[in-house]
Structure 1
């Protein structure tokens, strides 16, 4: 994921395809997000985490945005990726996603470049 650093906060945006047949399941998962997952996200220094759905040219896409406030993004992401409950969550959500540009695994989401931010 690409990032812009601004006053100790790093902002990340990424995109991935959404399987239209799994859209309802994906929405349901996030409507009732597991409390332990939300806690893991917060402990990893991620905040203001949002996921949006859009349709372009007949295809569905997910856009993810979050801010990271911490000291070592790579280390925090490695720690979260080793959490067995997080792995289970990702297994559930990834079944709904369609990676772009040949991405796969933990790098299934395609990074986006931020070109503007107003604080």
Structure 2
């Protein structure tokens, strides 16, 4: 069911072969401070999937606010603990975006993927 003022987001990034086990381990216990930053930024229903044949991490989330870019910069990208988390996880990944140097920078680290179909069923 849709949430008023919600935005669905899907993003992809490559996971380095040598980092698969470590990435899975760290995500089994995401730092509470990182989760708190996501909550403050109105992010809900966040999942990351791994497609091993293409080495792709696929993240999906819902943003329930009304200023995604602004809130993301203020509450997530500016959070010191999230920046520390990204230093760990970015080293395990390869961005698909030319010129990307890391999460929270001007050129996005994760590539946003456009939605081409949605079926929500009956409420």
Normalised-by-shorter TM-score class: 0.7 to 0.9
Where 1:117 maps in the other structure, the secondary structure is coil
Aligned CA distance change for structure 1 residues 101 and 39 (closer, same or farther; 3 Å):
closer
Partner of 2:27: 30
Partner of 2:58: 63
Where 2:26 maps in the other structure, the secondary structure is helix
Where 2:56 maps in the other structure, the secondary structure is strand
Partner of 2:48: 51
Higher-RCO chain (CA-CA 8 Å, sequence separation at least 6): 1
Shift of 1:101: 3.8
| Structure 1 runs, 4 residues or longer, greater than 3 Å off | none
User: Where do 5+ consecutive residues of structure 1 fail to align?
Assistant: none
TM-score by length of 2: 0.85
More strand, by proportion: 1
Partner of 1:10: 7
User: Where do 5+ consecutive residues of structure 2 fail to align?
Assistant: none
When the two chains are superposed, the root-mean-square deviation of aligned CA atoms in Å is: 1.6
CA contact (8 A) 1:49 1:67 kept: yes
Matched pairs, number? 113
Shift of 1:71: 2.2
Shift of 1:46: 0.4
